[in-house]
Chains A and B, each alone.
Chain A
Amino acid sequence: MKNLHKTWFDYFLLLFFAIILVVTLYPFMNVLAISLNDATDTIKNINFIIPRHFTLANYKYVFKEGGIVQPLFISIAKTVIGTLAGVICTAMLAYTLSRRDFVFHRFFTLLFVITMYVGGGMIPEYLLIVRTLHLGDNFLVYIIPGLIWVYNMILVRSFIDGLPGALQEAAKLDGANDFQIWYKVVMPLCTPVVATIALYYAVGQWNSFMDTYLYAKKLPTLQYKLYEIMSQATMQLDTHTTTNATQAVTPMAIRMAVTVVATVPIIIVYPFVQKYFVGGMTLGSVKD
């Protein structure tokens, strides 16, 4: 558009961003390569991105004896249930608060928005959840306290605000009640924003670590399991000391395999969803 012939600066930028890409991707490829490399060979030098001695032994060990099957299951369960519950509840609440004729519209909205700016903090929340409600080490602690993110609710509400109001009016004239209007008329139109918040919830659930750390160490997720593996290792690079003489698996190889298992879902969904993420972010920034 500006000047069509490219100068040295354009090629410099090309090189610059190529380096940025390498710096961004190299650590991930390094982890993948180590997880697929023979553990005793890795000890020599960990700086590589193509497996030198390809093996699946690390993964076999992790799934058979590494105790990650249960954490994997818990992670999947909390992601699926947390996302479903979060999306339904958020959308339902957002609809009621999008209705300017709702008597409590202003009051309820205020109640939710205030919590975006002030919060009780870690200790009071911990005491409420563990001491008062006795939700510690209960699967519900993964779902209920973080059920709705007010930010997501506002995203959905501003999306509904942008829908033509005539549809709701028509449904009302046909005798539909407010609940029917929500799930028969409004929800089907909300697919893009529902996709966006579903992704926010899913990634949040999959990645969360503090909830397990604070409330439910007996229900370890994959993230927490990885943390445990990490904190067992020492400050030194954990390539040494084979844990199992016959299989030649090192703590580092285990850590790398678990890291890959915990990252793969994000990498797989990423290409499909990244546009929704960004859409949500810019939507949020222009909301008022």
Chain B
Amino acid sequence: MVAKGKGGANKKEKISLALIWKQRYLLMMSLPFVIWIIIFKYIPLWGWTMAFQEVKPATFALPIWERPFAGFANFTKAFEDRLFKQTMINTLGISILQIAVGTIVAILFAVLLNELMFTKFKKVTQTISYLPHFVSWVIIASIAKNIFNDGGVVDSLVGANLHLMSTNSPLIWMVIVIIDCWKEMGWNAIIYLSSMAGIDPGLYEAAQIDGANRFQRMWHITLPGIRPTIIVLLIMSIGGALNVGMERQMLLSNALVQDHTMVLSWFSYTRGIKSSDYGLGTALGVFQSVVGVTLLMIANKIASLVGEDKLV
């Protein structure tokens, strides 16, 4: 309310029918989309009420006040589900691995690319590096099958059967994280590279005069220069730690490794849509959102405690 800026000459115009009539074209151009967003984004939010009700296909058609109220029964049912514990372990395991490996690889890629002197080659490398980002997960999964499946490219390179995608163990987490890294590394590096472009070149010159070598310059100038960006992106990824995409998990999984690829969103789909327990599925979704927001706030708090700017 305060930050209205300088250009607000007519800032407090009263909402009157005459004014609305005057702006009828603007209203006609925006109202359909307002209705659209209320239907497609706000009504599903209202659907959160289902988490506290017993909703099955038979009771779904009933008006909300006639559905049986369940309190927190859906949540207890979810937490006591035989798959819940393993699902949480998988979700957090994959997330943590991915945040750690993904962040380090993207930063390393950006820092080294920034040092590359062959300008034309640098441009080509960067352009090609984010090509996989634009390829769908279905295609990536199809490609990954060639590379990691039994008898695939990796197996034939090392001359042994490694069972990379057919061992029922957290090994599959690593495979998924590597594939994700391969797909997103170049894209994630863009933001670091653009933040490096904002570092004062004078710092590098001064360091050079003081006798700092290249590694010292990377360590003491480039990395501290992109520190705020790293912190912001880390906070955001911690906030999204439970939102491991169902699409990727499902596509890269198979019956042999499913115990270790099931994540929260997929679990919510299995219980909510496949088994038609709408209340339970919604409860899992609500749990995911609420924990996500909590994690975001905690990460944000920690960042401000260690002296970084707050994100939200």
Contact = CB atoms under 8 A, between A and B. Distances in A.
Interface of A: 1-3, 6-7, 9-10, 13-14, 16-17, 20-21, 23-28, 30-31, 34, 45-47, 89, 92-93, 95-97, 99-104, 108, 111-112, 115, 118-128, 131, 144-145, 147-148, 177-179, 182, 203, 206-210, 214, 223-224, 226-227, 230, 233, 235-239, 255-256, 258-259, 262-263, 266-267, 270-271, 274, 277-278, 281-282, 285
Interface string B264-289: 01001100110000100110011011
Given A101-B13, A282-B190, A120 B30 contact: no
A1 B119 CA distance: 11
A124 B247 contact: no
Contacts of B150: 235-237
B63 interface: no
Closest 5 CB pairs of A and B: A120-B44, A124-B47, A121-B285, A207-B136, A178-B25
Nearest to A208: B136
Q: Interface on chain B toward A: helix, strand, loop, or mixed SS?
A: helix
22 contacts: A14-B118, A17-B112, A17-B125, A21-B125, A21-B129, A24-B128, A24-B186, A30-B143, A30-B147, A30-B153, A100-B8, A103-B23, A111-B38, A120-B44, A122-B268, A127-B50, A127-B278, A210-B247, A230-B145, A255-B145, A266-B134, A270-B134
Given A101-B10, A262-B139, A237 B149 contact: yes
A115 B256 CA distance: 38
A237 B139 CA distance: 16
B295 to A, nearest CB: 14
Nearest to B61: A131
A282 B197 CA distance: 12
A17 B110 CA distance: 11
B269 A122 contact: yes
Contacts of A10: 116-118
A177 B26 CA distance: 9
B231 interface: no
B47 A123 contact: yes
Contacts of A255: 142, 145
B141 A230 contact: yes
A123 B149 contact: no
Contact of A235 (B28, B122, B247, B254): B254
A124 B182 CA distance: 33
Most buried by A among B33, B166, B246: B33
B143 A120 contact: no
A203 B36 CA distance: 23
B37 interface: yes
Contact of B156 (A46, A93, A226, A230): A46
Contact of A121 (B15, B125, B205, B282): B282
A230 B37 contact: no
A263 B41 contact: no
Contacts of A20: 109, 125, 129
B143 A127 contact: no
